[in-house]
C-alpha cells in the first residue's frame, strides 16, 4: 500500500479513520478535525512515536475513513465504531479513560454515577459525553428527579434484614428512599432506574411534556420557585438532546443509503443510526453494466449490505425498520419501510451519506489519475462518448466563443483540447470580417466556416467534437457552416447554455442536464471557460489599444511631443478643439497652430 498516495487523497474535513491489518481486521479507530493532517502524522519519518504506536503502524495495510459534519459528530461515530469493532489498539477509548460515562452499576439497589473507567462487569454505561460539566449536569438532573442512593456500601439482602446499615443525611433530606433499611422495595427502586435509563437513552419527550405541565400548574398556583425549577430541568433536557445530524433530538432509528455514479461505476454509502447516533458506516464500490438503471443498482447495493450485515451479526436483529433512500430501488425489502425525505433532519442525513459516497468516488478517481493518467483520461472520454451519444471517443475537441463590446471589435476564440487536456499551441483567434454589428449567429457561422475550410484545405485532422458556447441558435449557425463544407454530421456538435449548464444536442427536443459533478459536464465547462478566458483576454487587449488612439494622431504636422503639450495644457481633445488659433499658437507654436487650423477647417467643410 502506498500510504503517501492514500494520505494525499484524504479530505481536509472532520471525520473518523480506521486502520486495518492484512487480515482486514480493524485495529484502530480515531477521530480528527482534519483527516488528512491527522492520518499523515502516523507516517511521518521525523516524528517520534511510542513503542505501541510504532508497532500499530507496522501492521497497517489499509486506511478507511468516514466524513462527518463536526468534531462532536466524529466523537460519537468514533465511540460507536470502537464498540462495534473492538480494535486492538484503541485501549484509551475502550476503557473509557478519555471521556466521561454515566454508569448504572450492576449491584443490589444500583447506583448511578459518572466514571472514566469502562469495566465489563455487567453494568450499563451511557455516553461518552463531550465534557465532564455536561455529564455532571445530567447527573444533577437525575438526582433531582429520582431518589437514589449515593453511598458506596455493598448491600446484601441478609445484611439489610439484620439492620446492619444506618440511614445517612440523604434519607433525612428526602434525596434517598432508604434502601439500606428496607424502606423501598427492589421493584420500586427498579422502576426509578427504568425511568433513568429511558432518560439516558434519549426517550425524553414524555418527560419534557410532564415538566412543562408541572411548570404551568405551579405558575398558575403562584408557586414560582417550583415553576422555575421545572423550567430549568426542561431547558437542561432540551439542551442536552439538542438537534444535531448525528445525535438528533428525535432519536432517529434508521438505515441510510446513497449512491453517486461515475461512468460504469457506482459508489455507495450506508449508515445505520440508533437513537440518532451513527453506529455503523460502510462504503462499497460497484461496477455496472451499461444497461443497468439506477434503481437496479440501488437495489443490488442495499441487498449486498443487508447480506453482509446478516453474516456479521449471525442473523441476530434486523436493524431499524425505517430506511432513508434518495429514490426507490427496483425491489422490496420485507419488514422495512422505505422513505424519500423532502425536508428536515432526514434530508441532512441523506446528504451526509451522499458526501461520504462522493468522497469515495473522488478518492477513487484521484487515485486513478495519479497511478494511471491514461486510464483516467480514457475513462473521462468514454463517459463523454456515452453521455453525448457518440460512436467514437472524442480525443480531439474544439470549442468556440464569441466576444464583442456593444458590437465593436468582435472576435471569436477557438480552443483545442487533445486527450481531455488543453493544447494551447493550437488556440486561434478570429477577427470577424463579414459581420456588421453584434450578430452572434452570423459571427459563429463565419468563424466555423473559416476554421474548417482551412483545415480541409491544409488536409489537417478534424475534431470528433465541437462545443459551442451558446444555445440552439448558435449551434444551428455552426451546423449550417459545417453543412456547406460537407462535413456534417461527421463531426458531433453540441452547445453549452450557461444559464442552467444545459447541453444542447441537435435533433433532441430537450436539453441534456447532467449532474454538476459529472466528468462530462466538468470537461465541457472547462472547454467553455477556457475559450471565454482566451477570447476575452485578446478582446480586452485589442479594445485597450483602440481606446489609446485619438484624432490628434491623425493630424499631419502634430507629432507625439506636440500632442503631449496640448493635452497638458487643455486636458482633453474637446477643449483643444474649442481653444482656438491663438491658444494653440501659444502652446505649440505657429506651425503647429496652422496644422490644427487646417485640419479642423477641412473637417468642418466635410460636415
pLDDT per position as a tens digit, 304-349: 788 766 644 434 446 788 999 999 987 778 888 999 998 887 888 8
What's the pLDDT at 408?
57
Give the confidence band of 456 by pLDDT, cuts at 50, 70, 90.
very high
Measured distance CA(110)–CA(144) in Å, rounded: 17
What's the pLDDT at 414?
94
Contacts of 71 (CB under 8 A, 6+ apart): 14, 31, 33
Q: DSSP state, 221?
A: T
Position with higher pLDDT, 29 vs 316:
29
What's the pLDDT at 2?
66
What's the pLDDT at 348?
83
Low-confidence winner among 50-54, 81-85, 206-210, 515-519 (lowest mean pLDDT): 50-54
What's the pLDDT at 210?
77
Judged against a pLDDT cut of 90, whether residue 271 lies above it is answered with no
SS3 string of 167-219?
CCHHHHCCCCCCHHHCCCCHHHHHHHHHHHHHHHHCCCHHHHHHHHHHHHHHH
Phi/psi for 408 (5° steps) reads -105, 155
Average pLDDT on 20-33 reads 86
- The radius of gyration of the chain's CA atoms, rounded to the nearest angstrom, is 38
Average pLDDT on 483-512 reads 88
- In our burial notation (b when 16+ CB lie closer than 10 A, e otherwise), range 157-178 reads eeebeeeebeebebbeeebbbb
Measured distance CA(414)–CA(401) in Å, rounded: 7
Average pLDDT over the chain reads: 80
Position with higher pLDDT, 550 vs 575:
575
What's the pLDDT at 264?
66
Give the confidence band of 406 by pLDDT, cuts at 50, 70, 90.
very low
Nearest to 57 by CA among 11, 10, 89: 89
Position with higher pLDDT, 375 vs 151:
151
What's the pLDDT at 310?
65
Give the confidence band of 72 by pLDDT, cuts at 50, 70, 90.
low
Position with higher pLDDT, 106 vs 542:
106
Judged against a pLDDT cut of 50, whether residue 46 lies above it is answered with yes
Quote the distance between the C-alpha of residue 38 and its chain's center: 20
C-alpha cell at 399: 470549442
Q: Which residues pair with 66 in a beta bridge?
A: 16
Give yes or no for a contact between 412 and 535, defined as CB atoms under 8 angstroms apart. Answer: yes
In order of their start, the domains of the chain are 1-94 (3.40.1440.10), 102-204 (no CATH), 254-367 (3.30.70), 389-546 (3.30.420.340), 551-606 (1.10.150)
C-alpha cell at 603: 473637417
Contacts of 267 (CB under 8 A, 6+ apart): 259, 260, 261, 283, 284, 285, 286, 357, 358, 360, 361, 364
Measured distance CA(490)–CA(487) in Å, rounded: 6
Position with higher pLDDT, 456 vs 118:
456
What's the pLDDT at 375?
80
Judged against a pLDDT cut of 50, whether residue 248 lies above it is answered with no
Average pLDDT on 213-232 reads 88
What's the pLDDT at 290?
40
Q: DSSP state, 50?
A: P
Q: Which residues pair with 256 in a beta bridge?
A: 271, 324
What's the pLDDT at 33?
84
Give the confidence band of 548 by pLDDT, cuts at 50, 70, 90.
low
Give the C-alpha distances (Å, rounded to integers) separating 10 from 6, 104, 123, 435: 7, 40, 39, 52
Q: Which residues pair with 67 in a beta bridge?
A: 15
Residues in the chain: 607
Judged against a pLDDT cut of 70, whether residue 289 lies above it is answered with no
Measured distance CA(384)–CA(263) in Å, rounded: 9
Percent of the chain with pLDDT strictly greater than 90: 17
What's the pLDDT at 91?
43
Judged against a pLDDT cut of 70, whether residue 98 lies above it is answered with no
What's the pLDDT at 449?
93
Most confident of 99-103, 157-161, 314-318: 157-161
Judged against a pLDDT cut of 90, whether residue 252 lies above it is answered with no
Give the confidence band of 58 by pLDDT, cuts at 50, 70, 90.
confident
- pLDDT tens-digit map of 555-571: 888 888 888 888 888 87
Give the confidence band of 536 by pLDDT, cuts at 50, 70, 90.
confident
Average pLDDT on 289-314 reads 67
Give the confidence band of 366 by pLDDT, cuts at 50, 70, 90.
confident
DSSP 57-97: HHT--EEEEEE-SSHHHHHHHHHHHHHHH--TT-HHHHTT-
What's the pLDDT at 309?
67
Amino acid at each position: 500500500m502506498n500510504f503517501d498516495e492514500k494520505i494525499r487523497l484524504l479530505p481536509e474535513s472532520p471525520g473518523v479513520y480506521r486502520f486495518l491489518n492484512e487480515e482486514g481486521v480493524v485495529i484502530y479507530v480515531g477521530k480528527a478535525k482534519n483527516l488528512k493532517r491527522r492520518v499523515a502524522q502516523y507516517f511521518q519519518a521525523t516524528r517520534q512515536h511510542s513503542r505501541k504506536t510504532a508497532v500499530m503502524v507496522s501492521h497497517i495495510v489499509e486506511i478507511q475513513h468516514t466524513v462527518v459534519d463536526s468534531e462532536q459528530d466524529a466523537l460519537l461515530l468514533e465511540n460507536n465504531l470502537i464498540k462495534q469493532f473492538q480494535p486492538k489498539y484503541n485501549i484509551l477509548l475502550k476503557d473509557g479513560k478519555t471521556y466521561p460515562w454515566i454508569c448504572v452499576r450492576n449491584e443490589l439497589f444500583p447506583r448511578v454515577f459518572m466514571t472514566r473507567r469502562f469495566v465489563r462487569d455487567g453494568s450499563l454505561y451511557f455516553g461518552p459525553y463531550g465534557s465532564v460539566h455536561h455529564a455532571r449536569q445530567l447527573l444533577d438532573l437525575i438526582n433531582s428527579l429520582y431518589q437514589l442512593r449515593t453511598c458506596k456500601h455493598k448491600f446484601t439482602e441478609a445484611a439489610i434484614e439484620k439492620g446492619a446499615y444506618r440511614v445517612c443525611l440523604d434519607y433525612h433530606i428526602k434525596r434517598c428512599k432508604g434502601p439500606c433499611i428496607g424502606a423501598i422495595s427492589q421493584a420500586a427502586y427498579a422502576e426509578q432506574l427504568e425511568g433513568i435509563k429511558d432518560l439516558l437513552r434519549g426517550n425524553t419527550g414524555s418527560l419534557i411534556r410532564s415538566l412543562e405541565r408541572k411548570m404551568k400548574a405551579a405558575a398558575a398556583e403562584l408557586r414560582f420557585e417550583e415553576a422555575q425549577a421545572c423550567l430549568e430541568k426542561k431547558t437542561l433536557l432540551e439542551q442536552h438532546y439538542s438537534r444535531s445530524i448525528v445525535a438528533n433530538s428525535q432519536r432517529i432509528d434508521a438505515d441510510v443509503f446513497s449512491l453517486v455514479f461515475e461512468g460504469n461505476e457506482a459508489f455507495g454509502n450506508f449508515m445505520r443510526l440508533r437513537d440518532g447516533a451513527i453506529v455503523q458506516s460502510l462504503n462499497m464500490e460497484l461496477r455496472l453494466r451499461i444497461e443497468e438503471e439506477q434503481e437496479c443498482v440501488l437495489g443490488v447495493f442495499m441487498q449486498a449490505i443487508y447480506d453482509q450485515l446478516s453474516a456479521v451479526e449471525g442473523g441476530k436483529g434486523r436493524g431499524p425498520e425505517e430506511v432513508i433512500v434518495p429514490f426507490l430501488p427496483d425491489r422490496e425489502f420485507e419488514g422495512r419501510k422505505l422513505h424519500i425525505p423532502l425536508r428536515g433532519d432526514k434530508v441532512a442525513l441523506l446528504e451526509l451519506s451522499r458526501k461520504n459516497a462522493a468522497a469515495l468516488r473522488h478518492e477513487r478517481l484521484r487515485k486513478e489519475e495519479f497511478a494511471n493518467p491514461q486510464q483516467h483520461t480514457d475513462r473521462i472520454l468514454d463517459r463523454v462518448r456515452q453521455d453525448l451519444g457518440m460512436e467514437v471517443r472524442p480525443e480531439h475537441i474544439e470549442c468556440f466563443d464569441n466576444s464583442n463590446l456593444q458590437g465593436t471589435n468582435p472576435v471569436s476564440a477557438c480552443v483545442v483540447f487533445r486527450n481531455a487536456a488543453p493544447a494551447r499551441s493550437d488556440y486561434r483567434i478570429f477577427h470577424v470580417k463579414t459581420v456588421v454589428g453584434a450578430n452572434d449567429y452570423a459571427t459563429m457561422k463565419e468563424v466555423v466556416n473559416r476554421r474548417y475550410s482551412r483545415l480541409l484545405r491544409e488536409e489537417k485532422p478534424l475534431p470528433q467534437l465541437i462545443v459551442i458556447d451558446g444555445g440552439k441558435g448558435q449551434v444551428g449557425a455552426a451546423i449550417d457552416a459545417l453543412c456547406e463544407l460537407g462535413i456534417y454530421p461527421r463531426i458531433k456538435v453540441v452547445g453549452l447554455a450557461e444559464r442552467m449548464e444545459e447541453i444542447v444536442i441537435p435533433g433532441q427536443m430537450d436539453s441534456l442536464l447532467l449532474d454538476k459533478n459529472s466528468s462530462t459536464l466538468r470537461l465541457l465547462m472547462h472547454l467553455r471557460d477556457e475559450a471565454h478566458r482566451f477570447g476575452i483576454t485578446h478582446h480586452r487587449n485589442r479594445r485597450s489599444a483602440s481606446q489609446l488612439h485619438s484624432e490628434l494622431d491623425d493630424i499631419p504636422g502634430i507629432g507625439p511631443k506636440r500632442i503631449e503639450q496640448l493635452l497638458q495644457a487643455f486636458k482633453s481633445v474637446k477643449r483643444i478643439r474649442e481653444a482656438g488659433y491663438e491658444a494653440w499658437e501659444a502652446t505649440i507654436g505657429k506651425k503647429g497652430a496652422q496644422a490644427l487650423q487646417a485640419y479642423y477647417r477641412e473637417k468642418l467643410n466635410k460636415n
